[in-house]
Each structure stands twice: as structure tokens, then as C-alpha cells.
Amino acid sequence: MATLLKMTWSGYRFVIDETLADPRTKTWFLVAKPYQVLCVLGLYLLFVLKIGPNWMKNRPPYNVDKLMIIHNVVQVLACGYVFIEMIVYAWGWNYRWVCEPVDFTDHPHAMNVAGFVYHYYMLKCLDLIDTIFFVLRKKENQISFLHVYHHSIMVAVVWGATTYLPGGHGTLVGMINSFVHVVMYSYYLLTVAMPSVKNSLWWKKYITQLQIIQLAWCCLHMAAIVFKPDCGYPRWSAILFLPNNLCMLILFVDFYIKKYFKKPKQKVEQVQIQNGETKKQLFEDTIAQQRFKVI
């Protein structure tokens, strides 16, 4: 037993403290210490799936509109900042689209790139607040498997990127996602700040399309390093990123089909049934009237 514990501790130090973790980022807040991010995710899942719903069960929904407005404004500004930051320091002209290795030096440019990866990680932690608002507003229908899975797995994956690969090929995912979130949180901001325009905002459907496009693009981008053996960015990272992106792509496509294809069809069928019942009732009333006249 003592030998097993010693081997476990040695493995932990190898993965976190000594060799694999990037020494430039491992001292940063919520980075490199897996128990920290696991505690954050554990408390998040415990609240949104168990404690929160039970606590709100016999309570009226809270009005958190002001908090949501502040949250959405912060998200729009922060995501916009990270998006611009990534263009300036990486994908505007410095990075190669097919393969870009991580610069592990202490050069100012490399440190700037590592810094925006960390900023993106903090944004993924901030995203968890969305679900807390759903719980406090008693919007149980919005706390779907896709929503909870997406938020949780993004925190875990970006934690790994910040700890081990803060830069290089994988950062394109953060740039695209930050842009998508600028659009998404702008929509959320408008619907909360001006509820009267909620039904007139036609671009909700296209936000989902934008999310699907970004996931498909990210899948192709990460698949590129699988077919380029001489790339300095580790090919094994595709084993982690690709299944996650493919899984989310499938879930988003499934959500889109159910939301915008099957639902309208069901409505049409429901109207047809109602029209059929109305015609049937009119026919029965006509027959009854004819019988009354005969009598």
C-alpha cells in the first residue's frame, strides 16, 4: 500500500510539479492544481443539479435581471477583449493555420499568448454563472444535458490547455469561441434589458448555426495536426480535443434539429388535428340540425 501511494505521488509530481506542466503558468490562480478545478466543477454540478433546485422548489423565482445585465455586459466586453487579443498576438499574422507549435520561452510575445489563454480559461469559469441564474429563475427546462456538459467540459479542457499547452495550434478554438460569445451574450443582454424586443429578435436561430459552424471548424482545425507528423504541437492533444468537439457538434446539431425542424412540424400536425376535430364537430352539428328538422 505504501509503495502504491508513493508511486501515485511520484506520478502526480511528474504530471503537475516537475515535468509536464508549463512552469510559466502553473503558479497562476486555478491552474496546475487539479483539485482546485475539480472543486469548482464539483460545487457547480452539486448546486445546479441538486442543492439549487431543492432550495428553489417551494420558493418563487428570483428577479435577477440587474445581475444578468451586469453579467452579460462583462461577458461581451471580456470576450471581445480576448478575441482582439488573440488576433493581435496570434492569429492575425503571427500564427500558421495548418500547424503552430507552442512557444514555451519567456519571450514577451510568448508570455502574452500564454496570458490570453489564461484569460480565456477565466471566461470559461465565468460562464458557469449562466446556469446559476437558470436555477434562481426556476428555468429548469434550460438546464439541459447539453448546457451542463458544455460548460463543465470547457472548463476542464481549457484548464488542461492553460496548464500544459498555453499557446500554439489549439488557441484558434478560443479565438473563434470568444467571437461567438460576443454575439451570444449581446443577444442575451438585449433580451434582458429590453424584454419587449425578445420576440422580434430574429437572430436567435442563427446564433445556434454560428455555434455549429465554429465547432465544425474547430474539428477540422484540430484534425489537421493528426495528418501532419512533423508539427511541433503534440498530436496526442487531438485525441482529447477532437472527441470533445465532435460530441458537442453532434449535441448542438441534435438540439438545432429538434428546436427548428421537428418542433414546427409538430405544430403543423397539431393544427391539422385541431382543424380535423373542428370539421368533425361541424359535421356532427350539421347532422344533428338535420335530424332536429326532420323531427
> Which positions are annotated as active-site residues?
150
How do the residues of the chain divide into helix, strand and coil, expressed in percent and rounded to 5? Answer: 80, 0, 20
Residue 71: how many other CB atoms lie within 10 Å? 21
Which three cell numbers, joined as nine digits, stand for 202?
Answer: 430574429
d(CA 94, CA 36): 33
Q: Which long-range contacts (CB under 8 A, 24 or more apart) does 65-69 make?
A: 65/192, 67/133, 68/133, 68/188, 68/192, 69/189, 69/192, 69/193
Q: Where are the alpha helices (DSSP H) in 21-64?
A: 34-46, 52-56
Q: In the block, which residue shows the cell 434562481? A: 136
d(CA 69, CA 73): 6
Cβ–Cβ < 8 Å for 137, 114: no
Looking at residue 135, its amino acid is: V
Shortest CA distance to 101 belongs to which of 171, 22, 199? Answer: 171
- The residues, ordered by sequence, that sit 6+ positions from 34 with a Cβ below 8 Å of its Cβ are 16, 159
- CA quadruple 125, 169, 182, 75: dihedral, nearest 10: 20
